[in-house]
Amino acid sequence: MSLRVRVLVWSLILRSFYIQPSQLRAAEAHNEPTYVGARVCAECHTGPASGNQYSLWLASKHSQSYAALTKPEAEQIARLSGARQEPEATVHCLSCHSSAANAEPRQRQRTYRIEDGVQCETCHGPGSEHVARQRAGTRSPCCREELRRPTKQLCLRCHLQQTSHAVVLKARAFDLEQAWREIAHPRPTGWQMGGIPELPASGGNQHPGPKYVGAYTCGQCHRGARFNHQYSRWRRSPHARAWAVLGTPRAREIAREEGVDGDPQRDPRCLRCHTTVGTAPRQLVASTYEIDEGVGCEACHGPGSEYMTEAIMRDRQAARRNGLREVSKEVCKPCHENAHAKAPRAGLSSPALPSNIQWAQ
């Protein structure tokens, strides 16, 4: 290889590893906005007075689109598309199934989570400037410059006919008008900012024993092929939407029938079965726990703060001594037996306990 070719090859290799200082300066000079992730948007865009945007999104397929890349069908699609890595690591798949797939690491804040799939900023553009301005209280009629108002053209960038998908999924054709209505999350008149509610604090201040750390923490290890994609499998299940569905019009209908008025996402009578910790006091949860996870890993496996270190996890006895629970049907019953029995007209499919408890995995 001639020297010039070698220099060229090396500079290409290095460029793929290092951010060029000149690039960084350019980004700073332009004050380029970065991706903050959907939970940051939820700081203001959730709750009934805001139009429940976050919950409507979390209850939609878009929030599961990254998790979908671990379905058996994904492997088939990947094969047909000639992908050489697993779908979760293939930029081609991620470009439609997640946010910021092609962004440089510096364009993603620490709060950004690829696991959230197609999220607010996938459609509205990176939101750091909007968030900074709104947090500072500069309530300018801002957003037209800071954020994108999506057009139908944007949907079609991902929702286009693809042979690989058509062959494997045999899905119905994409109906743009209907899909647009399906994902609608308008602001109501008299719009007000909301936020993800906090758990009620209890009277006492001492709560010894294990604390709930949240499914996202478990998911830091329980992911990938080695762990049989446990986090993504859970993410695709209705349990991961259990809190989100309390923010839908359907939930308000059910709540009315059951004599609960007010916001179901804050009412202990609904939270009891639609979240991991139900009505447990705040002192029982670690700072990493998130109420919006719905029914997370620890709802079935027990609070994890004491057993979740790798050394204990690998030791069955030690894990059980530290609070890891055997999952039997007794665990499912308090939530599933007679759920919504008082609202037969709500038409829930089968409040009875499913016969196969393996379903959860």
* Residues 97-116 within binding reach of ligand HEC (CB under 6 A): 97
Q: Considering only CA atoms, which of 120, 123, 100, 109 is closest in space to residue 41?
A: 120
What is the nearest approach in angstroms of ligand HEC to the Cβ of residue 3? Answer: 39
Binds ligand HEC (CB under 6 A): choice among 8, 9, 89, 348: 348
159 lies in the binding site for ligand HEC (CB under 6 A): yes
Site for ligand HEC in 269-288 (CB under 6 A): 269-270, 272-274
155 lies in the binding site for ligand HEC (CB under 6 A): yes
Nearer to ligand HEC, 255 or 291 (CB): 255
Using DSSP's 3-state secondary structure scheme, residue 212 falls into: strand
Binds ligand HEC (CB under 6 A): choice among 251, 280, 285, 291: 251
- Give the 3-state DSSP-derived string for 13-51, with helices as H, strands as E and coil as C: HHHHHCCCHHHHHHHHHHCCCCECCHHHHHCCCCCHHHC
Binds ligand HEC (CB under 6 A): choice among 33, 108, 112, 118: 118
DSSP, residue by residue, 226-271: GGTTHHHHHHHSGGGGTTGGGGSHHHHHHHHHTT--S-GGG-HHHH
* Span of 20-28, 141-149, 203-211, 283-291 interacting with ligand HEC by CB under 6 A: 141-149
Binds ligand HEC (CB under 6 A): choice among 103, 196, 313, 318: 313
Distances (CA, A) of 259 to 252, 267, 300, 351: 10, 12, 28, 19
246 lies in the binding site for ligand HEC (CB under 6 A): yes
> Measured between alpha carbons, how far is 165 from 148 in angstroms, rounded to an integer?
28
Q: Which two tokens stand for residue 267?
A: 């009412």
> Measured between alpha carbons, how far is 15 from 19 in angstroms, rounded to an integer?
7
Residues in contact with 260: Cβ distance below 8 Å, sequence separation at least 6, in sequence order: 267, 269, 270
Nearer to ligand HEC, 154 or 284 (CB): 154
Task: Compute how many residues bind ligand HEC; rule: CB under 6 A.
Answer: 130
Q: Are 121 and 133 spatial neighbours (Cβ–Cβ below 8 Å)? A: no
Nearer to ligand HEC, 106 or 269 (CB): 269
Q: Are 24 and 18 spatial neighbours (Cβ–Cβ below 8 Å)? A: no
Binding map of ligand HEC across residues 30-69, x = CB under 6 A, - = no contact: ------x-x-xx-xxx-------xx--x---xx-xx--xx
Site for ligand HEC in 2-31 (CB under 6 A): none
318 lies in the binding site for ligand HEC (CB under 6 A): no
Binds ligand HEC (CB under 6 A): choice among 19, 89, 193, 201: 193
